[in-house]
Amino acid sequence: MLEPYKSEQHRLDGVLEKIQDAKVANELERDNADKKKADVDAGWKDVRYRSSTYSGLFETAMSVRQQQQMLEQREAEMNSVEHQAEVLEHLKERPYFARIDVQDAGSDVTEPIYIGLASFSDEPDHFLIYDWRAPISSIYYDDGVGEVTYTTPAGDQQATVHLKRQFQIEDGKIETIFDTDEAIGDQMLLNALSGESTTKMQSIVTTIQREQNKIIRNTSADLLFVQGAAGSGKTSAVLQRVAYLLYRYRGQLTSGQVVMFSPNQLFNDYIDQVLPELGEQNMVQMTYYQYASRRLPRFELETLQERFEAQPGTVQKELIDLKGTLDYFNVMQTYAKGLNQKGIQVRPIKFRGEEVISADRIKEIYYSFNENYNLGNRLFATKERLLKMLQSHVRSEMNAEWVDEQIENLSKEEYDSMMGDQEKEFKSDKEEHNYIAKIIVTNEMAPIIRGINRNRFININRQFVHFLKSVPYLMDLTQYQLTQADWDAGVEATVAQMQQGKLSLADMTPFMLLFDLIKGTHGERDIRFLFIDEIQDYTPFQLAFLKRSFPKARFTMLGDLNQAIFTKENAAGLQADLTHLFNPEKSEYIELTDTYRSTQQITDYAKAILVDGATINAFEREGDKPSVKVTQNETEMIDAAVAKVNQASDAHETTAIITKTLADAEEAYAQLRDQLDVTIIRTENQRLVPGTIIVPAYLAKGLEFDAVIMWDANAEKYHAEDERQLVYTIASRAMHQLTVLADQKLSPLLSNIDESLYVKE
Ligand SMILES: Nc1ncnc2c1ncn2[C@@H]1O[C@H](COP(=O)(O)OP(=O)(O)OP(=O)(O)O)[C@@H](O)[C@H]1O
């Protein structure tokens, strides 16, 4: 064997042996931890339950608490040995992927640093492998050979890098060694990128780029905003960032305190293996729709498909736009403040169909507290008062006829069960009657009490409409090209929707905010990091709302203003609005302009779709030029699609046929299903499957495929200027092959592209 293969293989063998030793030790520890846990479980038997006296209660509580603490400690131990077991398993398969030889300034020793998915040492402070997230590993991603500076917890450190080496290790054998003097060599990246697409996203730890590394390791910003072209690795970077944060704040941060808002469920499914592969647990992932549905369970909310396929008229569009602004957000705050004086909408409290506390009385109580109360305190104090009033109502209700009737109709079993196990002695029949009557009335009242505790006496639907009607008094509608009549018509439309139990996207966030303001809730304080992908599809109102709902979280927002398929042209103003939400001094903006997903040819073509020629640099990976075929009729288009799919399958590549709407996808499916083995993706709740799929564009967001066929890109389907971004999004899903098919006449959005960028078929 040739040097350096021989010596590296020798070292690798040694490390693998030590990993094996550690595995054995770990198994022993796990057995021990299991046993300790069993001891604690047995300890529960010794916990004494004595609750007849106060001191007895206290003693029990202490003893229980002790058990809990022991259990927690054991579980933590278990978790760490369990975690260690997983880490060792990962390391065994792939101990490390790089080596850098580093000589710190002022030292004469050059230390070889081997970088892998996790740290591994055989003795204290003797690291055989360094975690890719360790401070020193940053050098590997950021610098080439020569003088470097890296950040350590103690400050900046100067050093010289003498060697930079990358490995491919397969089954304990070093397959290739690649020495480079650049940051991440193009060759390495090319290798990583020329693979085929899979239904699950892969991690990029071995080839993180310098710009991406900045995103991953940023810990100073309250707002980290990443604008990146399609395929520039935003999603990848952010997933490695989660892994980094979990490492960096180990012990203080759990994966449950990291939340990611993603575009759709399909995408969640696509990315859910990345963190486990890196040896970390997945963060909490949800779509905005899921978040809102959980908070507004009584409403049917506008879905992704409805939102995307809706064709609002001009006025409706302006209404929707206005409802997404920060102005509107502020108007709602002003309105809510005003509710301290007047305007709260309540419903009376009824018991057995009869009003026991009138709406006016509730309002009176609500406004009886002085002006120092805010909405939250006011509501709380009102609740307390109402509950007290109900309690006194129990007494007067006990003599009601219905109670007597119920008592008479009680079976013996029912009666006995109300009396309970203990013998009771009553001085009189009256006393016995009262005892039972109290139970009956209290039971009957339980749902009402629950309702009060849950703020049901606030008529939130009415309150929301009341707010909508107040808007023209609180802001200047003409600024948004709207008249009072336009607004009134909009309110009517919302009311009609609400009567059917529905809420549109434009109304659902304001609705949630209004309720939060009235309740005085300040959101989830436990969440520390919030990630929002595809930020261009959010309105400033939504972002302000999320900021309020997660007050302790640092935000990372990622997006591509060129892929704004929902909010379309409004996206550009977003950045300006963010400066009002986050302290500009604690905000960082990073732009990723190099793209990795597609071949040079596909990127050049996709870029040409965007007229204002955003800065997008293709990574030099060669492939076929995109092909564009305008057919005479539909049959010809179908034949062309079949031929393309077959061609791709012969090359072991998967194809996605991307349509504009779901209806188009259904139509294509009906035409193709007899000739091809295809799966149609109709909803975001489906799973991605290997093989050919047909998918509407709004569900293909964030995904990638070897080959993409843009289905029926004809002039009729795609013509509006604001569909340009959609067309771009579709084209940029392709990694190796892109085919555009159009029946009869090509979309004007594509017909002006320079002919040298594609092949006409
Ligand atoms: N540093 C890297 N090394 C290897 N592959 C990379 C790197 N960065 C990105 N990629 C690959 O490029 C592709 C696109 O990355 P990703 O999906 O993260 O981009 P994105 O910016 O989120 O794209 P979009 O906005 O179009 O959804 C993925 O296949 C990813 O694995």
DSSP conformation letters of 376-412: HHHHHHHHHHHHHHHHHHHHHHTTSHHHHHHHHT--H
Q: Which of 236, 271, 617 to mutate to test the pocket of ligand 1 (most atoms within 8 A of CB)?
A: 236
Q: Which of 202, 206, 271, 596 to mutate to test the pocket of ligand 1 (most atoms within 8 A of CB)?
A: 596
Output the CA 685–ligand 1 centroid distance in Å. Answer: 23
Q: Is the CB of 209 under 6 A from ligand 1?
A: yes
Q: Is the CB of 183 under 6 A from ligand 1?
A: no
Query: For residue range 431-447, what is the model confidence (pLDDT) as tens digits?
Result: 888 888 888 898 888 99
Output the CA 224–ligand 1 centroid distance in Å. Answer: 18
- Protein residue with least CA distance to atom 30, ligand 1: 233
My answer on whether omega of the bond before 584 falls inside 30° of 0, hence cis, is no
- Protein residue with least CA distance to atom 28, ligand 1: 597
Of 31-45, 589-603, 628-642, 736-750, where does mean pLDDT reach its minimum? 31-45
Nearest-atom number in ligand 1 for the CA of 209 is 1
Give the model's pLDDT for residue 384: 93
Q: Which two tokens stand for residue 444?
A: 């009957």
Q: Is the per-residue pLDDT at 375 higher than 90?
A: yes
Q: Is the CB of 208 under 6 A from ligand 1?
A: yes
Q: Which of 184, 196, 204, 565 to mutate to test the pocket of ligand 1 (most atoms within 8 A of CB)?
A: 204
φ, ψ (nearest 5 deg) of residue 477: -65, -30
Annotated binding-site members for ATP: 228-235
In whole angstroms, give the CA distance from residue 571 to residue 537: 8
Nearest-atom number in ligand 1 for the CA of 534 is 25
Output the CA 368–ligand 1 centroid distance in Å. Answer: 59
Output the CA 209–ligand 1 centroid distance in Å. Answer: 11
Nearest-atom number in ligand 1 for the CA of 206 is 3
Read off the pTM: 0.85
Nearest-atom number in ligand 1 for the CA of 208 is 1
In whole angstroms, give the CA distance from residue 539 to residue 723: 19
Nearest-atom number in ligand 1 for the CA of 596 is 12
Output the CA 240–ligand 1 centroid distance in Å. Answer: 12
b/e map 322-354, b = 16+ CB within 10 Å: bbbbbbbbebbeebbeebbeeebbbbebebeee
- Protein residue with least CA distance to atom 1, ligand 1: 208
Q: Which two tokens stand for residue 431?
A: 């006393």
Nearest-atom number in ligand 1 for the CA of 236 is 18
Cα distances (angstroms) measured from residue 447 to each of 540, 621, 635: 39, 66, 63
Q: Is the CB of 234 under 6 A from ligand 1?
A: yes
Q: Which two tokens stand for residue 428?
A: 């009189």
Output the CA 535–ligand 1 centroid distance in Å. Answer: 17
In whole angstroms, give the CA distance from residue 437 to residue 417: 14
- Protein residue with least CA distance to atom 14, ligand 1: 231
Among the listed residues 508, 515, 511, the one whose alpha carbon sits nearest the alpha carbon of residue 379: 515
Q: Which of 597, 609, 735 to mutate to test the pocket of ligand 1 (most atoms within 8 A of CB)?
A: 597
Output the CA 373–ligand 1 centroid distance in Å. Answer: 51
In whole angstroms, give the CA distance from residue 551 to residue 554: 8
The confidence band for 308, taking pLDDT boundaries of 50, 70 and 90, is: confident
Q: Is the per-residue pLDDT at 50 higher than 50?
A: no
Nearest-atom number in ligand 1 for the CA of 192 is 4
Output the CA 719–ligand 1 centroid distance in Å. Answer: 29
Q: Is the CB of 193 under 6 A from ligand 1?
A: yes
Q: Is the CB of 540 under 6 A from ligand 1?
A: no
Output the CA 234–ligand 1 centroid distance in Å. Answer: 6
Domain spans in the chain, listed from the N-terminal domain onward:
1-93, 349-454, 621-760
The confidence band for 54, taking pLDDT boundaries of 50, 70 and 90, is: very low
Output the CA 203–ligand 1 centroid distance in Å. Answer: 10
Q: Is the CB of 345 under 6 A from ligand 1?
A: no
Q: Is the CB of 702 under 6 A from ligand 1?
A: yes
The confidence band for 53, taking pLDDT boundaries of 50, 70 and 90, is: very low
Q: What is the mean pLDDT of residues 19-23?
A: 92
- Protein residue with least CA distance to atom 26, ligand 1: 230
Q: What is the mean pLDDT of residues 562-580?
A: 67
Among the listed residues 441, 430, 354, the one whose alpha carbon sits nearest the alpha carbon of residue 396: 441
- Protein residue with least CA distance to atom 25, ligand 1: 230
Q: Is the CB of 597 under 6 A from ligand 1?
A: yes
Q: Which residues contact 220 (CB under 8 A, 6 or more apart)?
A: 586, 588
Give the model's pLDDT for residue 522: 85
Q: Is the CB of 332 under 6 A from ligand 1?
A: no
> Which of 35-49, 270-284, 367-381 ranks highest by mean pLDDT?
367-381
Residue tagged 């509006």 (tokens)? 720
Query: For residue range 653-702, what is the model confidence (pLDDT) as tens digits?
Result: 889 999 999 999 999 999 999 999 999 999 887 888 888 999 999 888 88
Q: Is the CB of 95 under 6 A from ligand 1?
A: no
Among the listed residues 688, 647, 525, 535, the one whose alpha carbon sits nearest the alpha carbon of residue 199: 688
Q: Which two tokens stand for residue 500?
A: 């059917």
Nearest-atom number in ligand 1 for the CA of 533 is 22
Of all residues in the chain, the percent with pLDDT exceeding 90 is 48
Percentages of the chain per state (helix, strand, coil), in multiples of 5: 50, 20, 30
Q: Is the per-residue pLDDT at 316 higher than 50?
A: yes
Among the listed residues 725, 720, 717, the one whose alpha carbon sits nearest the alpha carbon of residue 741: 717
Query: For residue range 701-723, what is the model confidence (pLDDT) as tens digits?
Result: 888 899 999 999 998 888 887 78
In whole angstroms, give the CA distance from residue 257 to residue 255: 5
C-beta separation of 315 from 530 below 8 A? no
621-760: which CATH architecture? 3-Layer(aba) Sandwich (3.40)
Of 36-45, 416-425, 482-491, 502-511, where does mean pLDDT reach its minimum? 36-45
In whole angstroms, give the CA distance from residue 600 to residue 622: 6
Q: Is the per-residue pLDDT at 55 higher than 70?
A: no
Cα distances (angstroms) measured from residue 477 to each of 41, 327, 466: 66, 11, 17
Q: Is the per-residue pLDDT at 373 higher than 50?
A: yes
Nearest-atom number in ligand 1 for the CA of 230 is 26
Q: What is the mean pLDDT of residues 53-65?
A: 48
Q: Is the CB of 704 under 6 A from ligand 1?
A: yes
Output the CA 700–ligand 1 centroid distance in Å. Answer: 15
φ, ψ (nearest 5 deg) of residue 449: -65, -40
Nearest-atom number in ligand 1 for the CA of 701 is 27
Interhelix angle 505-519/326-338, rounded to 10 degrees, is: 40
Q: Is the per-residue pLDDT at 614 higher than 70?
A: no
The confidence band for 537, taking pLDDT boundaries of 50, 70 and 90, is: confident
Burial of 52 (0-12, 13-18, 19+ CB in 10 A): exposed
Query: For residue range 113-167, what is the model confidence (pLDDT) as tens digits?
Result: 999 998 898 888 889 999 999 988 999 988 888 999 988 878 888 999 999 998 8
Output the CA 731–ligand 1 centroid distance in Å. Answer: 15
Q: Is the CB of 189 under 6 A from ligand 1?
A: yes
In whole angstroms, give the CA distance from residue 117 to residue 130: 8
